[in-house]
Amino acid sequence: MAITNEILNIDEVNKLSVDDAYNMFFNCCHCQKWANLMVDARPFSSSQVLLEYATSSWSTASEEEILEAFLGHAKIGDLNALRDKYASAEQGQIKQTSDAVLQELKQLNDDYENKFGFIFIVCASGKPAEYMLDILRQRIQNSRSEELNNGAGEQNKITHIRLKKLLGIS
């Protein structure tokens, strides 16, 4: 069974081949160890058990694994990429944003990456650009350790959104 953007019930998830299940989970969180843990934990008795296991297995991720997952997110490269990012399906509410806000977002994203060595990770679903800018302004003041933990928590939220979409859960 090839994985598409279709909704799968828990029985279908449990019946996927190892490769298809791995690809499905890896597309939700770009961490090889986490995806393998999810594959190996099957069969799940329910979607809720799957989601709970996703969180508990992610909570054991090492710094290297967290950073690997962060690499699955596109880096903001220029203002056009930033506009495209905020018009994407996961972040569709952010469409009418001033260039000044977008320019500051881009600059602070660059500053953040230079400071911490990884890109700014935040669950932006449904959040306006000004809100995102406020979060970035606050978080750039943190230590690297705090930001690694913050980013890992945000990655967990993003992964859950992706898993719920896959499972047809709102």
pLDDT per residue over 1-33, tens digit each?
445 568 999 999 999 999 999 999 999 999 999
Between these two residues, 56 and 131, which has the higher pLDDT value? 56
**pLDDT value at position 2?**
47
Closest CA to 90 of 161, 3, 168, 5: 161
Kindly report the average pLDDT of the chain as a whole number. Answer: 89
pLDDT per residue over 114-167, tens digit each?
999 999 999 987 788 888 899 999 999 999 999 999 999 999 999 999 999 999
**pLDDT value at position 156?**
98
How large is the average pLDDT for residues 47-74? 96
**pLDDT value at position 94?**
43
How large is the average pLDDT for residues 85-96? 51
Catalytic status, residue 73? yes
Exactly one of 25, 69, 73, 136 is catalytic; name it: 73
SS3 sequence of the chain: CCCCCCCCCHHHHHHCCHHHHHHHHHHHCCCHHHHHHHHHHCCCCCHHHHHHHHHHHHCCCCHHHHHHHHCCCCCCCCHHHHHHHCCCHHHCCCCCCCHHHHHHHHHHHHHHHHHHCCCCCCCCCCCCHHHHHHHHHHHCCCCHHHHHHHHHHHHHHHHHHHHHHHHCCC
How far apart are the C-alpha atoms of 118 and 67, rounded to whole Å? Answer: 7
Cβ neighbors of 84 (< 8 A, separation 6 or more) are none
**pLDDT value at position 1?**
46
**pLDDT value at position 4?**
53
Q: What's the pTM?
A: 0.87
How large is the average pLDDT for residues 79-95? 56
How large is the average pLDDT for residues 54-64? 98
